A and B are shown apart, each in its own frame.
Chain A
Amino acid sequence: MSEIVVSLHGVTKKYGDLSILNGVDLEIKKGEFLTLLGPSGCGKTTILKLVAGFEFPTSGEIRLNGRVVNQEPPEKREVNTVFQSYALFPHMSIFDNVAFGPRLRGVPEDQIREDVKKALEMVQLIHLADRRPNQLSGGQQQRIAIARAVINKPSVLLLDESLSALDYKLRKQMQVELKHLQRQLGITFVFVTHDQEEALSMSDRIVLMHKGVIQQIGTPTEIYENPANLVVANFIGEATFFDALVVDHSEKGIALETEGQKIHLKDTKTKAKPGSKLKILVRPEDLRVERFSKDITEAFSFEGLVEHILYRGTVIDLCIRLKSGHVIQATEFYNEDSDALGYKVGQAVFVTWVDGWEVLLEDA
């Protein structure tokens, strides 16, 4: 089994009466890229601060490399942080910024020169060693902040919304670079973001948080394909929901009533009692839209009218008002072979999905 670098056990953080974290349990494995994802105020940055040592937990236990570090100050922890504002020292050159950590540890100056050179080469900014931080662009400052942290060879590198200050193109580029860097260094990265796309594309595992509680921990695929609950489903990706009532279930599947129809799905995981409410989650790109009911190969379909068409280049988004009045969104690939868009506003269509591609969630 892989080694655990950081573990949080029943960690709670309160400011007065305000509870920021509620009994968080989390194990961070050596060498993984873990992302803490959630809306602002969900407690993700607080976890980062607790691991870094800028804040101490109200109760619970934090372990770093096996030892309890609850009240240990940041300078004693083999953890380094890349701040959202980068926090480079404005009165020092780039070289001195990167050399700050090693100098404090009393590394000989010859060794420091070599290490700093290596760190700056790694982020491809060796030519800027003599500059001051305010002479650098945001992206460059970001990379220096990373170099300044990783030169200390921390067990864990904490990144606090590190890419959110960069423009879109640079952010994309830095995402690739960060991922590359993490593989190359083999250091555990704990990355905090509210950007789900960033989380999905970079992480080995995602911790999805909401209101101080972990909602789900899993690989990006697990989180996207099998959201544990409605909070996760709503936060990650686009989702279309159908309200449903459980009619019956057996080992062969589940019978549901939705959109005024009785349908049968082969899902056997849901144990909801007959009569209870469910939400059927289908990703917009998993919905099939057909113009003629004869083209429907599934056992069920819902009739509706196209209300809006959003052309997005490779795909089109259709807003469809079903007979029940419920408006859903479906994403269809643009048919390159036919000249026509294929859909018109006001057109009658039939909507369905492949049985088994949906997720059934209990209606909280």
Chain B
Amino acid sequence: MMEWIRKAYLSFILLFLYAPILILIAYSFNSGTYSTQWEGFTLDWYRSLAKSSDLLEITFNSFLLAFLAASGATIIGTAAAIALKRYQFLGKKAMQGLLFALLMSPDVVMGIALLVLFVALKMDLGFFTLLLSHITFGIPFVIVTVMGRIASLDENLTQAASDLGASEFQTLHKVILPLLWPAVLSGWLLAFTLSMDDVIISFFVSGPDFEILPLRIYSMVRLGVKPEINALCTILFILTMAIVFTSRKLVGDEE
């Protein structure tokens, strides 16, 4: 009896979480154009998606942006996490506090703040402003992920390294980074996915020259959900799942 309840409960939660996505995936194969009724199986929407060079270019833009932003955020975030855990410096407490403020602050606030900054600096809105913004909101997530891993490391390991003659840099290079890399990778993936689906901040800081996928989808949806969008979202969902599974596998192997 208990077993049955447990299974039912679990199924209910999974259904609650994934039902919308499953419906979306199903409709991406629906041959009816506007209706929410099932009118038969088709791959037309995927075909028309493939033909739309415009959408493909925008998808590429998004991947490029996410890749660069995640890499930037990971480099800065990892360095910051190591500094926060390993060294004493002026303003360390303040920095930790601000980090969490940044994590919690509403995207609208971030978006407007960045926009004001770029305008004040007379920067043209486009690729660079997007990249800088995405790096900015990615950093705290990387820091938090990497700091968690550092906290779980045996402090004696770094002492052992310097005891055996390693300089500060050698300790970082040969001991700390190799041990942190699963967390660094997780942080990168987190920053990557955050960048891939950000609408709000990007809305404020993007320009007409560099379009990205989330914004395009958003503007397309305002005119009604087209079945191509269902297909596109399905592809994005499957890609995300693939990334998550590979990263889990990589991190899992390490531990």
Contact = CB atoms under 8 A, between A and B. Distances in A.
A357 B188 CA distance: 72
A91 B165 CA distance: 18
Given A90-B179, A91-B179, A85 B163 contact: no
A83 B160 contact: yes
Nearest to A148: B164
A218 interface: no
Given A87-B154, A89-B175, A90-B179, A152 B160 contact: no
Interface string A48-65: 000011100000000000
A55 to B, nearest CB: 10
A62 to B, nearest CB: 16
A105 B164 CA distance: 9
A100 B160 CA distance: 10
Interface in A53-90: 53-54, 73-75, 79-81, 83-85, 87-90
Contacts, number: 58
A250 B178 CA distance: 73
A258 to B, nearest CB: 50
Nearest to B254: A91
B48 interface: no
B160 A87 contact: yes
Interface in B119-160: 154, 156-157, 159-160
Interface residues of A, number: 24
A75 B159 contact: no
B170 interface: yes
Nearest to B167: A75
B165 A101 contact: yes
Interface residue tally of chain B, by bracket? 10 to 19
Contacts of A91: 178-179
A84 B166 CA distance: 20
Interface string B156-188: 110111111111001000110011000000000
A75 B157 contact: no
Nearest to A158: B163
A364 interface: no
Most buried by A among B162, B165, B174, B178: B165
A73 to B, nearest CB: 7
A54 B159 contact: yes
B170 A89 contact: no
A1 interface: no
Given A90-B179, A91-B178, A100 B163 contact: no
Contacts of A74: 159, 162-163
B166 A75 contact: yes
A81 B163 contact: yes
A148 B157 CA distance: 13
Contacts of B167: 75
Nearest to A74: B162
Contact of B165 (A84, A85, A105): A105
B151 to A, nearest CB: 16
A81 B179 CA distance: 21
A73 B164 CA distance: 11
A100 B179 contact: no
Contacts of A90: 179
A52 B156 contact: no
Contact of B161 (A52, A84, A100, A105): A100
A59 B165 CA distance: 25
A52 B163 CA distance: 7
A261 to B, nearest CB: 56
B154 A104 contact: no
Nearest to B160: A87
A249 to B, nearest CB: 53
Interface in A148-162: 148-149, 152
Contacts of B170: 104
A83 to B, nearest CB: 5
Contacts of A148: 164
Interface in A1-53: 52-53
Contacts of B164: 75, 80, 100-101, 104, 148-149, 152
A79 B165 CA distance: 9
A180 B204 CA distance: 72
A89 B157 contact: yes
A79 B166 CA distance: 13
Most buried by B among A81, A84, A87, A101: A87
A80 B166 CA distance: 12
Contacts of B160: 81, 83, 87-89
Contacts of A105: 165
A90 B178 CA distance: 10
A80 B161 contact: no
A73 B166 CA distance: 10
A53 B159 CA distance: 9
A87 B165 contact: no
A70 to B, nearest CB: 17
The 4 closest A-B pairs by CB, nearest first: A87-B156, A87-B160, A101-B164, A74-B162
21 contacts: A52-B159, A52-B163, A54-B159, A54-B163, A74-B163, A75-B162, A75-B163, A75-B167, A80-B163, A84-B156, A85-B154, A85-B156, A88-B160, A89-B157, A89-B161, A89-B175, A100-B174, A101-B164, A104-B166, A149-B164, A152-B165
Given A87-B156, A91-B179, 13 more contacts: A52-B159, A52-B163, A75-B166, A81-B160, A85-B154, A87-B154, A87-B157, A87-B159, A89-B160, A89-B161, A101-B164, A104-B166, A152-B164
